[in-house]
Amino acid sequence: MKQNNGERNKWKMKYSTSRKVNGFIFVLPWLLGFIIFFAVPIKNTILYSFNKVEVGESGGIALTFSGLQNYIDLFTEEVSTLSQPIQRMFADENSNIFTQLPLIVIFSLFLAILANAKFPGRGIVRVIFFLPIVLGLQLIVEWTQASMGRTLIETSAGGMLGSGMGVDLLFQYTFLPPKTILFLSDVIANISQLITRTGVQTMIFLAGLQSISPSHYEVAKIEGANSYEVFWKVTIPLLANVTVFTVIYTLIDLFLSSSIAVEVYNFAFTKSKIGIGSALSVVYMLNVLVALGIVMLFLKVVHLVEKK
C-alpha cells in the first residue's frame, strides 16, 4: 500500500514535470520570435535613438553616440508632413484618440445590444453589423474615405447627408452651448468613420452579452427591476472585463492607425533620418504606454477594473 502510494507520487511528479517541459515547448516558438523579431529591434530602436546613424564603409551601419541630440532635433527642428511641429502632431493625435475612444466603445456596445435583441430580420442585421470587421481594414478605410464617388454623391445631395440640417435644428431648439453642438455635429458627420472601427469591438461585446446567463435577468425581473435598472445593475457590471478588453483594443487600434505611425515611416525611408526616426519611435511607444496607463487608471476609478 505504502509502496504503491510512493509509486503514484513518483509518477505524478514525473508527469507534472514532463507537462511543464511540454508546455514550455509549446510556447518556445513564440519566445524565440519575441527575441528575434521584437526584443532585438526594440533594443536597436532605443540604441539608434541615442546615436547618429550613418551608412558605414562596408555597407553596414555606423553609429556615433550623440546623446539626446536626436530627441532635441526631433522637437525643435523637424516638422511633420503637414509642416507642423512634432509636438503639435502628438497633441492633435492624442486629443483625437481620447475623444474617439469613448465614442467607439459606447457605440460598439450599443451595436452589440441591438444585435442581441430579438426582432425579425436579425440575421441580416447581424451580417451588416459585423461588416466593419472587413470594411474597417485600414486599406479600405483609406481608399473609401477619399473616394471621389463619395464627394460626388455628397455634393449632389445638397448636404442632406451632412450635418448642416441637424446643426440648425439643434441651434434653434435646444439651449446647448455652441461648442457642444459643434462637437455633436462633428460626431454625426464622421459617424461612418467611427463605425469602421467598431467591428471587432461589437463582436467582443456580443460575445460578452451572450455569455451572461439568463438567470441573472430572471432574478432582476422577479425583484422588480425595470429595464433601465437591469441595464446598469446587471448588464454593465457583468460586462466589466469585456469592456476593459475593448477599451485597450480600441486604444491600440487608434494609435496604430494614427498619423504618428506614418511619420515614423517618412523619417526612416523618405527623409533617411534613421536616428531621428528612432527617437520618434521611442516617443511614440512611450506615448502609447502612458496613454494606456491613464486609461487603466480611469477604469480603476470607475471600478471597471477590479482592485487586487
* Least distance in angstroms from the C-beta of 78 to other proteins: 15
Q: Note whether 200 and 247 are within 8 A (CB).
A: no
Nearer to other proteins, 69 or 116 (CB): 116
Residue 240: CA count within 13 A, CB half-sphere: 15
Nearer to other proteins, 182 or 188 (CB): 188
Nearer to other proteins, 123 or 177 (CB): 123
Nearer to other proteins, 167 or 258 (CB): 258
* Least distance in angstroms from the C-beta of 141 to other proteins: 8
Nearer to other proteins, 119 or 173 (CB): 119
Pick from 191, 185, 193: which is nearest to 142 by CA?
193
* Least distance in angstroms from the C-beta of 177 to other proteins: 27
Nearer to other proteins, 134 or 178 (CB): 134
* Least distance in angstroms from the C-beta of 12 to other proteins: 11
* Least distance in angstroms from the C-beta of 284 to other proteins: 5
Could you give the CA distance from residue 154 to residue 240 in angstroms, rounded to a whole number? 40
Contacts of 159 (CB under 8 A, 6+ apart): 165
Cβ neighbours, 10 Å, residue 250:
23
* Least distance in angstroms from the C-beta of 178 to other proteins: 25
Which cell numbers in the block locate residue 121?
Answer: 430580420
* Least distance in angstroms from the C-beta of 205 to other proteins: 10
Which cell numbers in the block locate residue 80?
Answer: 511633420
85: helix, coil or strand?
strand
Q: Where are the beta strands (DSSP E) in the chain?
A: 51-55, 61-65
β-partners of residue 65 are: 51
Q: Note whether 129 and 115 are within 8 A (CB).
A: yes
Nearer to other proteins, 178 or 270 (CB): 270
Cα angle: 158, vertex 193, 91; to 5 degrees: 115
Contacts of 49 (CB under 8 A, 6+ apart): 70, 71, 275, 278, 279, 281, 282
Give me the amino acid identity at 260: I
* Least distance in angstroms from the C-beta of 204 to other proteins: 6
Nearer to other proteins, 40 or 178 (CB): 40
Q: What angle, 0 to 180 degrees and rounded to 10, lies between the N-to-C axes of helices 86-116 and 199-211?
A: 40
Q: Is the dihedral of CA 175, 178, 179, 182 positive or negative?
A: positive
